[in-house]
Structure 1
Amino acid sequence: MNAPGSQALAYEVPAVPSLPSFPLDKWYVAGLGWQLTDTPVARTLLNKPIVLFRTADGQVAALEDRCCHRALPLSTGTLEGQGLRCGYHGLLFNGEGKCIEIPGQEKIPSKARVPAYHVRERDQIVWIWFGSSEHPEPSCEPPAYEVHSSGEYLFDGDVYHYDAPYQLIHDNLMDLSHLGYVHLRTIGGNASIHMNAEMKVESDDASVTVTRHMPGSVPPPTYVAAYPFKDRVDRWQQIEFHVSHLRIWTGAVDANTDDLNDPQRGGFHMRGFHGVTPETDTTSHYFWTMATNPQSDHEAIKAKVIEQTALTFDEDKVVIEAQYQNMCRFGARPMIDIHVDVGANRARKIIERLRHANHSSA
Structure 2
Amino acid sequence: MLNTFKPLQSPEQGDIVFALNQWYIAGFSWELDHAAPLARTLLNKPIVLFRTPDGRAAALEDRCCHRSLPLSFGTIEARGLRCGYHGLLFGADGACLEIPGQDKVPGKCRVPAHTLVEKDRILWIWFGDADHSTPLQDPPDYPWHADPRYEFRGDVYHYEAPYQLIHDNLLDLSHLGYVHLRTIGGDPSTHMQAEMKVESAGNSVRVVRHMRESKPPATYAAAWPFADRIDRWQEIEFEVSHLRIWTGAVDANTESLDDPARGGFHMRGLHGVTPETDSTTHYFWTMSTNRRPDGGSNMDQVFEQTALTFEEDKIVIEAQYHNQQRFGAGPQIDIHVDVGANRARRIIAGLTKAPTISLSSTR
Say yes or no: TM over 0.5.
yes
Alignment match, 1:319: 316
Q: Is the 8 A contact 2:149 2:291 kept in 1?
A: no
Question: CA–CA distance in 1 between the matches of 2:195 and 2:22?
Answer: 33
Instruction: Tell me the amino acid that sits aligned with residue 140 of structure 2.
Output: P
Alignment match, 2:21: 25
Larger RCO (CA under 8 A, 6+ residues apart): 2
Q: Does 1:223 find its partner at 2:220? A: yes
Question: CA–CA distance in 2 between the matches of 1:22 and 1:204?
Answer: 20
Instruction: Tell me the amino acid that sits aligned with residue 218 of structure 2.
Output: P
Q: Is the 8 A contact 2:16 2:278 kept in 1?
A: no
Alignment match, 1:108: 105
Structure 2, unaligned runs of 5 or more: 1-13, 355-363
* Cα-to-partner distance string for 1:17-49 (whole Å, 9 max, x where unaligned): x98611111111100111112211101000000
RMSD (Å), alpha carbons: 1.4
Instruction: Tell me the amino acid that sits aligned with residue 340 of structure 1.
Output: V
* Cα-to-partner distance string for 1:289-337 (whole Å, 9 max, x where unaligned): 0000012676751011000000000000000000000000011111111
Structure 1, unaligned runs of 5 or more: 1-17, 358-362
Alignment match, 1:82: 79
Alignment match, 2:51: 54
Question: CA–CA distance in 1 between the matches of 2:213 and 2:288?
Answer: 24
Aligned residue for 1:113, secondary structure, equals coil
Aligned residue for 2:298, secondary structure, equals helix
Q: Which has the larger radius of gyration?
A: 1
Instruction: Tell me the amino acid that sits aligned with residue 67 of structure 2.
Output: R
Mapping of residues 229-240 of structure 1, within 5 Å: 229-240=226-237
Question: CA–CA distance in 2 between the matches of 1:149 and 1:225?
Answer: 25
Instruction: Tell me the amino acid that sits aligned with residue 344 of structure 2.
Output: A
Alignment match, 2:339: 342
Question: CA–CA distance in 1 between the matches of 2:231 and 2:188?
Answer: 15
Question: CA–CA distance in 1 between the matches of 2:306 and 2:94?
Answer: 38
Alignment match, 1:94: 91
Instruction: Tell me the amino acid that sits aligned with residue 106 of structure 1.
Output: D
Q: Is the 8 A contact 2:235 2:245 kept in 1?
A: yes
- Post-superposition offset of 1:205: 2.1
Instruction: Tell me the amino acid that sits aligned with residue 227 of structure 2.
Output: K
TM-score relative to the length of structure 2: 0.91
Q: Which aligned runs of 4 or more in structure 1 are off by greater than 4 angstroms?
A: 296-300
Alignment match, 1:174: 171
Q: Is the 8 A contact 1:53 1:60 kept in 2?
A: yes
Aligned residue for 1:95, secondary structure, equals coil
Question: CA–CA distance in 1 between the matches of 2:213 and 2:272?
Answer: 32
Q: Is the 8 A contact 1:169 1:320 kept in 2?
A: yes
- Post-superposition offset of 1:199: 0.2
Alignment match, 2:326: 329
Question: CA–CA distance in 1 between the matches of 2:149 and 2:82?
Answer: 40
Q: Does 1:261 find its partner at 2:270? A: no
Percent of pairs identical after alignment? 68
Alignment match, 2:194: 197
